[in-house]
Amino acid sequence: MSSIMTANEEFEKNLKEWLDSNRVHRKGESLRRLENGIGYGEKLFLEQVWWPVVGTFDHLFPEYLFIDDAERERFIDLAYVRVPYRFAIEIDGYGPHVKNVDRYQFGDGLMRQNQLVMEGWKPIRFSVTDLEQRPDRCIRFVRSMLGQWYGKPEADITLLVRERQLIHLAVFNHPFVDASIIAAEFSIRREHASKWLRRLHNNGLLTPLKAGERIHRYRYSEKAVRMLQI
């Protein structure tokens, strides 16, 4: 019996490894969502479009957590985070939940996308119908997207090792960082963690989670994403 995997078997194997690796660093609602598995539309996009074009899940993150302006946890279906850009890939079905959306839910969806744009994300949306019936159209778009935004290599930018590690932590593992989180992750005192955070904030690599006289929590900035070599 041949040991050569079919294209579908190779996809399923890589999909499982990718999801397992993402679960390791998740907790709370983010972990629960991944434990339930990705949705029909997301898997369809990955299998019919992303995998044939890219052939890897590098830089791609399922159920990506971000905090909105009301400090609520929100999730991006698939986030493609590759220097210097961030793409929020959303898969939209046309089921009963869409038809029954009220005006407030509709407005909330628009504001959610506006905030992503304001924070430097590039929202990209696909319908399940197109993925099912016109996948070639979606493939052409993804090829054009990657060609347009990543046609030229980025210049190498050097960060201190601890700064790179802290920014990586902020981008991939936490919706925000504070002195307690940094102290625990790096096994240092809170006073030292606060100094690290202030330094990165002063250099424009972290921004306050919420404006106020005293800053306790930070999120990564667009500048940090551009500087991080993923």
Of 104-118, 178-192, 195-209, the least confident:
104-118
Distance between CA atoms of 148 and 91, rounded to whole angstroms? 21
Q: 161-227 architecture in CATH?
A: Orthogonal Bundle (1.10)
Give the three-state DSSP class for 60.
Answer: strand
Sequential DSSP letters for 97-164: HHHT--HHHHHHHHHHHHHHHHTTEEEEEEEHHHHHH-HHHHHHHHHHHHHHHSSSPPPP----HHHH
What is the pTM (predicted TM-score) of this model?
0.63
Domain boundaries, the chain: 7-149, 161-227
Return mean pLDDT, the chain. 82
Residue with more model confidence, 107 or 177 = 177
The tens digit of pLDDT for each residue in 52-90 reads 888 899 999 999 988 877 778 889 999 999 988 999 999
What percent of the chain stands above pLDDT 90? 28
The class level of CATH for 7-149 reads alpha beta
To the nearest whole percent, how much of the chain has pLDDT over 70?
Answer: 84
* Alpha-carbon torsion angle 91, 103, 108, 111, nearest 10: 90
